[in-house]
Amino acid sequence: MLVSHLYRILKPSKLNNVVVLLLKIISLNYIGYALLISISASITTIYNLKRTNGIVFKYLKKVKIFVSSYNPQITKARVINLNLHKSNITLNSGLSMRVGISEAIRMLFSSSLNLLFILVLSSQWLQIIKKQQKKFLILFPLWLPTSGNNNNKFRKGIFLFLFLQWLFINSTCHCPWPLINLLAQGGSKKGILKLAESKKEDYTANINLENLMPLITKSENLKSKSLAKGLEDTKFNQWLAGLIDGDGCFQLSKKGYASLEIVGHIRDKNCLYQIKQKFGGAVKLRTNLNHLRFRLHHKQGMLDIINAVNGEIRNPIRLLQLSKICDKYNIPVVQPTSITYENGWLSGFFDSDGSIYLNLKSSQIFITAGQKNKYLLDLICNLYGGSIYIEKTSFKWVVFRKSEIIKLLEYFKLNPCKSAKFNRIYAIPKYYELRDLKAHLAEESTILGKAWKKFLLRWDKWEKIK
């Protein structure tokens, strides 16, 4: 993104050669020292600018930055006038998510107090620099506003010194600088420490790179949390689609009012209240006192629901209902893709139409799901195993083999149920443990017999949870 932005602003094809530095006023603790290393990353990002006159700007070999000020507070780890402490640096997003060297490089992309220096050098000067390998000392005096209420006042005496040794090479040469290789590897902790050990440069002599690891870890944690949040939303939407395919119903009244209703047992109220919390709506007790009904009819909530489950609905009847709602709101209906093992749809469908029970005569566990539409059960059977049987008015998917049940347990670890069935599913390993010990055959007065009886009492209690 930085490269394309520079292309739009600078249009380097019209210049002989361009060197761009994005710098920020920072202090000289380890965050400042980190910038000495990480500034090479920004240069590495833009070194792919189109070649002009046969010369390509590849990298900065050495960069040293010194900050001098009459203000003693400059030694603190903050940016003047912003009070941007170390703990807040991770709030910005930038190249450090990719490079992983330090959070200091985030400052290169901050919207305030950024300084853009553009050095346009002729080809003649570039050839001289290339041959002579001269060292340049550049002094930039800066005038920054104070942190007080009066923004018209300015603080003097802040200077930024750049001690640079430029190195320009032809595009046919190989870059010997190991930092670029480090960036390509993601800037891991191991790689950074290895670089510090191998390169005995002056600017790394007094840096304890272990101090940079909390910043790197925090950056990685923020990125991981963002990815986890997106995955969590996707899993929830898939679960919701499965629940709607089982016990839900999209409705469009004669007057054109759209709504969604989901009916569930009172012991599974947690499912309905999670949906209500996310999309709005109302949960009310039905007249038979054993079931609850979730109903959503306001426009924004319906639009959010459609956006969440569109492309995940697999029940043909429900898909037809959804298409009518989408036509009302001029939203294209997305046909579902082939379901995968990790998809959260089954957990939602099992919360609505599934059951798990223990046959006391055979001491065998059965996991089942009933549905009038055999198409849905075929999807499940082909992916997760089991068999399909015909009942009087519907079809039933049944799993009883231990290997297939263990496979389902692994699935429910990835996509947990949100209903009371959660308790029985996660009691199955205990059941197999007791069964392997022949506890179901032991006398009630024995330790194993008592353990089996206790297990059965808890098993029945979970089914009756209110």
Query: In the chain, what percentage of residues exceed pLDDT 70?
Result: 50
Average pLDDT, the chain: 65
When pLDDT is cut at 50, 70 and 90, the band that residue 69 belongs to is: very low
Exposed / middle / buried, residue 151 (Cβ in 10 Å: 0-12, 13-18, 19+): exposed
What pLDDT digit, counting tens, does each position of 57-68 carry? 333 333 333 333
Please name each of the domains of the chain with its CATH number: 2-207 (no CATH), 235-328 (3.10.28.10), 345-463 (3.10.28.10)
Q: With contact defined as beta carbons under 8 Å apart, do 126 and 17 qualify?
A: yes
When pLDDT is cut at 50, 70 and 90, the band that residue 223 belongs to is: low
Nearest to 185 by CA among 60, 62, 41: 41
DSSP 55: B
CA distance 385 to 312: 21
CA distance 416 to 304: 23
What pLDDT digit, counting tens, does each position of 8-56 carry? 444 433 333 333 333 333 333 334 434 444 444 333 333 333 333 333 3
What pLDDT digit, counting tens, does each position of 184-221 carry? 334 444 554 454 445 434 333 344 445 545 555 555 56
β-sheet with 387-390: strand ranges across? 354-359, 364-371, 395-399, 387-390
Report pTM: 0.53
Which residue type sits at 292? L
CA distance 465 to 266: 9
Task: Tell me what pLDDT residue 333 has.
Answer: 94
Q: With contact defined as beta carbons under 8 Å apart, do 59 and 40 qualify?
A: yes
- Region 344-371: mean pLDDT is 92
Q: Is 167 helix (H, G, I), strand (E, B) or coil?
A: strand
What pLDDT digit, counting tens, does each position of 270-288 carry? 899 999 999 999 999 887 6
Nearest to 58 by CA among 139, 172, 135, 144: 172
CA 306-345-307 angle, to 5 degrees, is 15
Q: Which position has the token pair 């290895």?
A: 194
Say how many C-beta atoms besides its own lie within 10 A of residue 384's C-beta: 17
